[in-house]
Each structure stands twice: as structure tokens, then as C-alpha cells.
Amino acid sequence: MLRLAIFASGRGSNLRAIYNAIRSGDLKGVELTLVLSNNSSAEALVFAKEHQIEALHLSPLVSGEEFYEGELLKALQDREIDLIALAGYMRKIPDSLIAAYRHRIVNIHPALLPEFGGSGMYGSRVHEAVLAAGKPVTGASVHYVEGEYDSGEIILQSECPVHPGDTPQTLGKRVLQCEHELYPKALQIVINKLLSSKI
């Protein structure tokens, strides 16, 4: 059984989708061990506490950038975390963590990477850009985390239609539904790979 940590800064709907997939048995070989946030008032932390999952708030604003990096890595190693899923985590992952968890940190992005990704492309900005480009189709991508934003190898994507008259909000809502189906499937691919390499 692999030990999963989810990093989330906000509402945590992808966290809930992953939690539900584990509970229902759709996502196998993993237990949700830790929810970590840089935002002490994140709904994701509330959800974790309500569901008896350890909820941890760590922020460089509290402990200072340098101490925070070490603190983060230690928190994961102390809990023997095998895999990290970013789900709306609004901080850059330190290089030290990427090096320690190479190919064990994944992220979800609300567009079909490599388009509409990179620094500054988050939240409704992504959907605004998709609409401005007149794309008939958008989607979601799960990828490994590397040093540059949204740059790591893509694990799985799913497409989602853009409808005439869509606003960033209506499109974002539709893409979020795609994300909730995609993330557990993509995690299963990563988990299966890690489990087979452990044997």
C-alpha cells in the first residue's frame, strides 16, 4: 500500500474526488495519509479533519523560506510518504523536494498541456485564454512535476468540449467535472508503476 499526500491550497474538490475513489475501491494500492496546505483556512484542511486524515499547515510565511523547505521534506519523510498529488496547490514546489521525490509528484492542470500552461496560467485565466483562442475543445492534464510550471511528462489527459456562449465560469465548471474523473485514473497509472517497480 503506497502512502499518498495531497497538497491543496483551496476548496479541495479534487482532493474529495481522490478520497471518494479510494473509498469506493476505484483507486487501489494507496492510502490517503496526509493533506498539506500552505493556507491555514483551506477547505481542503477542513475536509481532511472531518474525515480523520492528518491535516498539516506549513507555510514559508510562518517559518521562513529556507526553514520551510527542510520542514516540508521532513514532514513527508517522517510520514513515509511515497507519492504526492498536487490539487490546486498554489506554491512552487522547491527543487529539493522535486529531487527527493522524482517521478513521485504529480499535478492536475485544467487544460490540454502543453497549451495554456506555464507561469501565471491558473484558475479562470486558463479558461479565459482557451475562450479567447476560440478553441472548440479543452480538457485537463495530469503530469509529473518538474522545476518549471506545468512542464513535466504528461501522464493522462481528458478532453472536454467548449460550448458556444461559454464563460470562463461555465467552462471551468465543466472542466472541473473532467478533472474529477481524470485524476484518480491518472493516479492509478502512477501507483501501478510504482508498485510494480517495488517488487
* Rounded-to-integer distance, Cα 128 and Cα 123, Å: 9
Could you say which DSSP state residue 161 is in?
Answer: E
The end-to-end CA distance of the chain, in Å, is: 12
Q: How many CB atoms lie within 10 A of CB 28?
A: 12
138: closest CA among 111, 157, 164? 111
H/E stretch holding 136: none
139: closest CA among 117, 113, 120? 113
The 137-176 contact track toward ligand GRF, x by CB under 6 A, reads: ---------------------------------------x
Would you count residue 38 as binding ligand GRF (CB under 6 A)? Answer: no
Could you say which DSSP state residue 75 is in?
Answer: H
Binding residue (CB under 6 A) for ligand GRF from 2, 4, 6, 13: 13
Would you count residue 12 as binding ligand GRF (CB under 6 A)? Answer: yes
Q: In the complex, what is the shortest distance from the CB of residue 12 to ligand GRF, in angstroms, rounded to a whole number?
A: 5
Would you count residue 88 as binding ligand GRF (CB under 6 A)? Answer: yes
Could you say which DSSP state residue 156 is in?
Answer: E
Q: In the complex, what is the shortest distance from the CB of residue 113 to ligand GRF, in angstroms, rounded to a whole number?
A: 11
Would you count residue 14 as binding ligand GRF (CB under 6 A)? Answer: yes
Catalytic entry in 51, 109, 143, 180:
109
Q: In the complex, what is the shortest distance from the CB of residue 192 to ligand GRF, in angstroms, rounded to a whole number?
A: 22
Q: How many CB atoms lie within 10 A of CB 119?
A: 9
State which residue, 81 or 108, has the beta carbon closest to ligand GRF: 108
State which residue, 104 or 143, has the beta carbon closest to ligand GRF: 143
Would you count residue 94 as binding ligand GRF (CB under 6 A)? Answer: no
Cβ neighbours of residue 164 closer than 8 Å, sequence gap 6 or more: none
Contact positions toward ligand GRF, by CB under 6 A? Answer: 8, 10-14, 87-88, 108-110, 176, 179
| Catalytic residue list | 109
